[in-house]
Amino acid sequence: MRLTVYTDFSLRVLMFLALKGDELATIAEVAKAYGISKNHLMKVAYQLGLAGYVETVRGKGGGLRLARRPQDIVLGEVVRHTEPDMALVPCFAPDDASCTIFPSCALRGVLSGARDAFLAALDRHTLADLVRPRAPLQKLLSFKPDGKAAGQRLARRA
């Protein structure tokens, strides 16, 4: 199994926001913490917002925060959302009849079972599981001792 960079970045954004709690984070702050492109993160954040994982606050002092509690965000759900095509081989597609052995092939079933087991393992974990213990991750991502990231913007929920 190989996940796309998009899914990797999506999970990293969610982890960062989980560590921030209710406080807003900017795309620039997340990009700096992970050393990744702001342009990629903008697309990721936008899609996470559309999916209901992230709340976006526009304007001066705006930013991102989780729209749901970390313990309510199931990893398998996030991966299914960010990886809409989990076909491991072309014959997984319902309209693919190009393989000569398709009618009697056992490989498709074996690979399908492996994919399902992978997703089932992710379904047993939430975002909250990924950010425990918090302190080591916060230190690695340049959070200050009070749990706030450097350059943090404050805004209250409406």
Give 69-110 pLDDT, tens digit per residue. 999 999 999 999 999 887 777 777 666 667 787 778 888 889
Question: Above 90 in pLDDT, residue 151?
Answer: no
Output Rg (C-alpha) for the chain, integer angstroms. 19
Domains in the chain, ordered, with CATH? 5-84+127-140 (1.10.10.10)
Token reading at 95: 């309209």
Beta strand pairing call for 63-66 and 54-57: antiparallel
Residue whose C-alpha is closest to residue 137's, from 70, 83, 74: 70
Question: Above 70 in pLDDT, residue 155?
Answer: no
Helices (H), 51-158: 75-82, 107-123, 127-130, 134-140
User: What's the confidence (pLDDT) of residue 144?
Assistant: 62
User: What digits encode the pLDDT tens for the residues 11-42?
Assistant: 999 999 999 999 999 999 999 999 999 999 99
pLDDT (average), residues 110-135: 93
Confidence band for 145, pLDDT divided at 50, 70 and 90? low
Q: Any idea what the Cα angle at residue 39 is, between residues 35 and 40, rounded to 5°?
A: 70
Token reading at 5: 């960079």
Token reading at 9: 């970045």
Q: What is the pTM of this model?
A: 0.82
